[in-house]
Amino acid sequence: MRHIVSLLMENEAGALSRVAGLFSARAYNIESLTVAPTEDATLSRMTIVTSGSEEVIEQIIKQLNKLIDVVRVLDLNDGRFIERELMLVKVKAVGALRDEMKRMCDIFRGRIIDVADGSFTIELTGSGSKLDAFLETLDKSVILETVRTGASGIGRGNRILKV
């Protein structure tokens, strides 16, 4: 099953490679990984999207906790949470396609953030599956380029991951 794991770790050189190294060394799946410093500059927050059986997920959480630089780990799937990902898509926009692309963008509540002669760049946020759905709706030949950030996640309500 797909899990989203959030963690706080010391914002130190090499910390990211420890996490990435753990996943490859133990052959855990990694769908996406995002990381950035938090409001406390000594800490980084990472979101890892992974998948595996319950046993594997349990091991992943334990192994992450074991890394010396990792301060806190939370399996977001243990409770209710929100997941968001940002995608930028450059699409062909010539002739009738210009209206079509604008309409699709509105339906998915995206924004056109760059307009050029033959193309638009659309910014879209949402869950991974919403972004997937958007791409599936478009004709393949229209898509010129995509870039996705990978998911970020946060617990709902009073579920807080903090030191």
Q: How far is the CB of 49 from another protein (least distance, A)?
A: 21
Q: Rounded to whole angstroms, how far apart are CA atoms 66 and 80?
A: 25
Q: Rounded to whole angstroms, how far apart are CA atoms 139 and 100?
A: 11
**Residue closer to another protein, measured from CB, 55 or 136:** 55
Task: Report helix angle 15-25 to 54-66, nearest 10.
Answer: 150
Out of 27, 39, 53, 55, the only residue in the binding site for another protein (CB under 8 A) is 55
Out of 66, 109, 156, 159, the only residue in the binding site for another protein (CB under 8 A) is 66
State the chain's maximal CA–CA distance in angstroms: 57
Binding mask 11-40 for another protein (x = CB under 8 A): --xx--xx--x---x---------------
**Residue closer to another protein, measured from CB, 70 or 93:** 70
Q: Which stretch binds another protein (CB under 8 A): 6-14, 32-40, 87-95, 134-142?
A: 6-14
Q: Count the neighbouring beta carbons within 10 Å of the beta carbon of residue 134.
A: 21
Q: With binding defined as CB under 8 A, does residue 70 bind another protein?
A: yes
- Using the Cα atoms of residue 39, residue 40, residue 42 and residue 44 in order, give the sign of their dihedral: negative
Q: How far is the CB of 56 from another protein (least distance, A)?
A: 10
Q: Which residues of this protein are in contact with another protein, per CB under 8 A?
A: 9-10, 13-14, 17-18, 21, 25, 55, 58-59, 62-63, 65-66, 68-71, 163
